[in-house]
Structure 1
Amino acid sequence: MNGLYLFVGAVVFFALSYCLYGKYLSRCFGIDPKRVCPSISKQDGQDFSPAPAAVLFGHHFASIAGSGPIVGPVIAAIFGWAPAALWILIGCVFVGSMHDFAALFLSVRNEGRSIAYVIERELGYLGRQIFLLFCLASLMLIVAVFTIMVAQTFVSTPSVATSSILFIFIAPFFAVALRQNMLSLAEASAVFVPLLFLCVWLGCVFPLDLTALLGSAEHARTAARLGLLYYAFVASVLPVWILLQPRDYLNSYLLIGTMLLGIAGVICYRPEFSMPAFVNPVALVPDSNLRLIPDLLPLLFVTIACGACSGFHALVASGTTSKQIASEKHIQPVGMGAMMVEGILAILAIISVAYLKYDDFAGMFYSADFVPTLAFASGIANFTAKLGLPYDFGVSFLCLSVSAFMLTSLDTAARLARFIWQELFLSRQGGADEGGQEVHQEGAPAGRKQFWQMALSNRWVSTGIIIVLSGLLVFSDSVLRIWPVFGASNQLMAALTLMVLTLWLLRTGRKLWFGLLPALFMTVISIWSLVILIGSRWEKEKLLAGIGCVLLVAAVLLLALATHTVRKHFRARRCQRT
């Protein structure tokens, strides 16, 4: 198999699916370009702020991409390249892109509120609170893990630290130039995108070596972690248009540059796959503790999350993106389009390691210092060497790009965690505006917050609590042991979102199949994976197994509430007939 054929086939498949399936979804959901979006009706200059479609695509794409579409496919290649490629192609279109489209649509139609608000309407107040706690735990884990990973990158690759700091400083100037109508979007892009790549070059020339400055790698890691937590706090409370929108938009060019570099390398190198399509790891690596069946069946689908389907995307879509979308006609290009571009990146990640001999890849995979992002960077750098680009420069640039994606996911996750925390203190059928003030559905009882509720849901206080709790995880060893459960919890969030979508489709009398089938599949796969995870770690890692049990109980409770809701719906329909 030639990697170029796989890539071209994937691009054609995604393009046709976007045009045909995307049009079908727009018709089923009833997209109305004339309908006023919450970014306009609730505009406050803080979180609710309409953005041009291109800027919003950049924010959304950079936020959901992170390192997930690279890390997951590279790890999943241990089972061969074909299972990973098939799940990305099929899952990205019929599960992931539909999931993101639906989450964004439901949030926009519910005044920019999170998916938890929709869950309350379908499953009640208890269902909302369970889901919010589930999401909050996952988001704090994301903040903690990405803080650790980015800090480690800053210490090991000082050029990344310099470039990342410069990225942050130029973003507000881009925002002001647009907001004050000093430059059009095209003019501002023409000025600031070259500056972005200048920052990359300056990082290589003037690396910020924290180890040399502070005397030891341990001190450097501590300083980097504290600095990143402070950055996450500031990024979460600043108005979205000052930092989040412009930096994510500019970072999207870095991400696109990475993809174009990879595409050019694949076209020029035309890598032949040396890795088998399907592999049983036990046959080649007897002590790998992996089995092709049944482990492949559930674990593949939670290993590759962001490249095919990810519950985190629903939180981004309903947490920040829905508050910035200017028209419902942008839901398809932003929600669905960004997911499919991410699928293309995931296919590139598979190609970057599939050209290796399986024995060589397995040797890397089972080594103690295996880093999936470095394996991706090395593969693409090998391809682009055919273009005359030095291998070392290619590796450095690609590692920098991946770190920028992780930093974007970090600040977005911090802001989303703040939104989720604020929603925990809202009364029934309530929503939150930017400052944590309560916004009620028309006709719903207002209900009064107690002083302590108002204090805890304040923007500054809630962000501080989130950062402190995440910081406790950052400076403990537990987060590194908890990380494996994130894959299952992430997909379980997607399953729950799809479940609520199905209930909404049922209640509104729309077609069910495109929501019901993915919901059933993801629910079974996620719970199956959690059961395997709990069973394999019960003896040695009680904490991890305990967290898995909590997630499993939460999922079962929500499923029970969903079953009860469906029974009530059909009982009411029978009563209407009689």
Structure 2
Amino acid sequence: MPGYVYFLLACAALLVGYLVYGKIVAKIFGEDDNRVTPAISMADGVDYVPMSPIKIWLIQLLNIAGIGPIFGPILGALYGPTALLWIVIGSIFAGATHDYFSGMLSIRYKGTNVPNIVGYNLGNVFKRIMQLFAVILLLLVGVVFMTSPAMLLKNLTSIDMNVWLIIIFVYYLLATILPIDKIIGRLYPIFGAVLLIMAIGMTVMLFVKGYDFYPAAEMTNQFPGDNPLPIYPLIFVTIACGALSGFHATQSPLMSRCLTKESYGRPIFYGAMIGEGFIALIWATVGMTFYQSPAELQAALASGGPANVVNQSALSLMGSIGGILAVLGVIVLPITSGDTAFRAARLTIAEVFNFNQTPSKNRLSIAIPLFIVGAILTQVDFNVIWRYFGWSNQTLACIMLWAGAAYLYRKGRFHWIASIPATFMTSVVVCYICMDKNLGFGIDYTISVYIGIAGALIAIGSFLAFANKNIEGAPTDD
């Protein structure tokens, strides 16, 4: 069977997943258009702003799709076809479910952010953990998504990277403090057009130029070298955005404040994640098709990381003009996630201290210290920041999935749609922190796997034993 058939099958699986499994998830949750959404009942002209569902979908996609669904799948392509399986299965059964519940529970809880969503369903201890995790993660995302586009723009223009950092920094500050419909709502349709050129153009040119899709693919661990890095748990952390990402839980509440009907939740929250899955699928395919072997891809990565892969493949496949547009599409993604990362951090901190964000001076009083810390972190080694981002990102995703499962459990609904992926990802993050020598404890790999499995079993056992308990102070959505 020709390799491109597998690509088309993977695309079809994502579409069927949205049409079929997405409806199942929405039905289990219980969307209700008779409920008045926070966009209507709490409209303030700053963060609670009713918008059209098409515009919200586009903003949601650009918010969640940073460099993760590009850089992650490129790195994950070193492992071979397992990357494609994780993108498809992860997007449908884990990532889109996670994004849906983080958005819809926010709507049910008056547009609140993820720490409160977790607190209402798992208790105050998890709420405090989530507050810390969310702010740290959002800062890391803001910094990563400030540094990475600056590197790409430097490669594209030869202008010093620090100049681009300053320009992006100023844009992020404005996007963080101004009403959401003033910059984000107006610029994102333009950014979306560039993104579509990138995604469609790269895919079409692989066919036009007659590339043999996945020429070296085998259902084994294809990571180059005598001691290949293990697929489990690394691929599930390496490919986060594009399959499952806790960062999305911090972004969905931004859009939950703009929906005018609950039934828009499935296309916007579940559907945008499936859209990101398509982007990830394209770049994993580029990694395994434009480069004819994992060793060839690894050599390109050694010469300049994923940014070098983007430059090489885009310019070769689409020519100078089309290649520049494709690279611009890649630049747009982190910028449109970095700006909302800082915005979400501002809102999360404001929520912790119950600090009204309608006056502009109140927004500035939180945003300026955030950006000072962000500016300092841009001077830290990018690889170190990315490593901490990867683990904290998937840990946050685990906690959010457990919160969604607890909500369903207490409602007497089928909680396994959230608790099964939560259990699996718990094993992943526990195993990863145990085995990693730089970030974690450096424990032997086999022992770390057993610890990860034990951690997952303890988590699901504790969940089944205690999830039906009412949380003191939690609001009702009935």
Normalization by structure 2: what TM-score? 0.88
Q: Greater CA deviation, 401-410 or 2-11?
A: 2-11
Q: Distance in 1 between matches of 2:218 and 2:321?
A: 31
Superposition pairs for residues 106-125 of structure 1, below 5 Å? 106-125=105-124
Name the CA shift for 1:222/1:571 in 2 (closer, same or farther; >3 Å): closer
- Distance in 2 separating the partners of 1:339 and 1:114: 19
Cα displacement string for residues 26-85 of structure 1 (whole angstroms, at most 9, x for unaligned residues): 2111111232111111111111101111111110111111221111111111111x1000
Distance 1:305 1:485 in 2: 13
Which residue of structure 2 lines up, in the alignment, with residue 409 of structure 1? Answer: 337
1:5–1:485 distance in 2 versus 1, CA, 3 Å: same
Q: Deviations over 1:115-149 (max 9, x none)?
A: 21122212333321211111111111111122222
Give the aligned residue type for 2:174.
V
Which letter does structure 2 place at the counterpart of 1:257?
A: I
Distance 1:267 1:241, change over 3 A: same
User: Residue 543 of structure 1 corresponds to which residue in structure 2?
Assistant: none
Tell me if the contact between 2:115 and 2:134 (Cα under 8 Å) persists in the aligned partners: no
Question: What residue number does 1:524 align with?
Answer: 427
Residue identity matched to 1:401: G
CA distance in structure 1 between the aligned counterparts of 2:343 and 2:463, rounded to whole angstroms: 31
Provide the residue aligned with 2:186 in structure 1: 246
CA offsets per residue over residues 349-375 of structure 1, 9 Å max, x none? 12212122223223223x2x3332442
Counterpart amino acid of residue 306 in structure 1 = C
Query: Cα offset for 1:339?
Result: 0.9
Residue 421 of structure 1 corresponds to which residue in structure 2?
349
Give how far 1:10 is off.
1.9
The percentage of aligned residue pairs carrying the same residue is: 27
Q: Which is further off, 559-568 or 498-507?
A: 559-568
Structure 2 spans left out of the alignment, 5+ residues: 443-450, 471-478
Is the aligned partner of 1:315 residue 2:250?
yes
**1:398 to partner: Cα distance:** 1.3
**Does the 8 Å contact 2:18/2:270 carry over to 1?**
yes
Give the C-alpha shift of residue 279 in structure 1. 4.8
The answer on whether the counterparts of 2:350 and 2:356 sit within 8 Å (CA) in structure 1 is: no
Residue in structure 2 matched with residue 301 of structure 1 by the alignment:
236
Partner of 1:489: 392
**Distance in 1 between the 2:404 and 2:356 partners?**
23
**Aligned-partner SS, 1:157:** helix
In 1, Cα distance between equivalents of 2:249 and 2:148:
23
* Closer/same/farther in 2, CA of residues 538 and 263 from structure 1, 3 Å limit: same
The offset of 1:483, in angstroms, is 2.0
Once the two structures are overlaid, the 10-residue window that deviates more, 148-157 or 505-514, is 148-157
Residues 96 and 537 (structure 1 numbering): CA distance in 2 closer, same or farther, change over 3 Å?
A: closer
Superposed counterparts of 1:373-412, under 5 Å: 373-384=307-318, 391-412=319-340
CA gap 1:79/1:463 in 2 versus in 1, 3 angstroms: same
In the other structure, the counterpart of 1:290 is: 228
Structure 1's unaligned 5+ residue stretches are 159-208, 211-219, 385-390, 427-431, 438-454, 540-551, 573-578
Which residue of the partner structure matches residue 13 of structure 1?
A: 13
CA distance in 2, matches of 1:79, 1:470: 33
Alignment match, 1:164:
none
Render the CA deviation track for 1:428-480: whole Å, top value 9, x for unaligned: xxxx764399xxxxxxxxxxxxxxxxx9xx32111111111111111344x54
CA RMSD, 1 decimal = 2.7
- The within-5 A match list for 1:219-368 is 220-272=160-212, 273-280=214-221, 284-286=224-226, 290-291=228-229, 295-318=230-253, 320-355=254-289, 356-358=291-293, 359-365=295-301, 367=302
**Cα offset for 1:266?**
3.4
How far residue 8 of structure 1 moved from its aligned partner, in angstroms, is 1.6
CA distance in 1, matches of 2:370, 2:205: 41
Q: Deviations over 1:1-21 (max 9, x none)?
A: 644312321222122221111
Aligned partner letter, 1:527 = V
Residue 141 of structure 2 aligns with which residue?
A: 142
Checking the alignment, whether the CA contact within 8 Å between 1:503 and 1:566 is kept in structure 2 is no
Give yes or no for contact 2:194–2:329 (8 Å, CA) kept in 1: yes
Partner of 1:85 in structure 2? 84
Q: Distance in 1 between matches of 2:359 and 2:441?
A: 40
Q: CA deviation at 1:275?
A: 2.2
Preserved contact between residue 3 and residue 351 of structure 1 (Cα < 8 Å): no
User: For the structure 1 residues 402 and 302, does the alpha-carbon distance in structure 2 shift closer, same or farther, using more than 3 Å as the test?
Assistant: same
Q: Give the Cα separation in 2 of the matches to 1:564 and 1:537.
A: 24
String of CA shifts for 1:186-227, please: whole Å, max 9, x gaps.
xxxxxxxxxxxxxxxxxxxxxxx64xxxxxxxxx33333233
Aligned to 1:503, the other structure's residue is in SS state helix
Name the counterpart of 2:374: 470
The one-letter code sitting in structure 2 at the alignment partner of 1:363 is A
Distance in 2 of aligned mates of 1:498 and 1:571: 17
Q: Report the residue type matching 1:43 in the other structure.
A: A
Q: CA deviation at 1:565?
A: 7.2
Distance 1:416 1:570, change over 3 A: closer
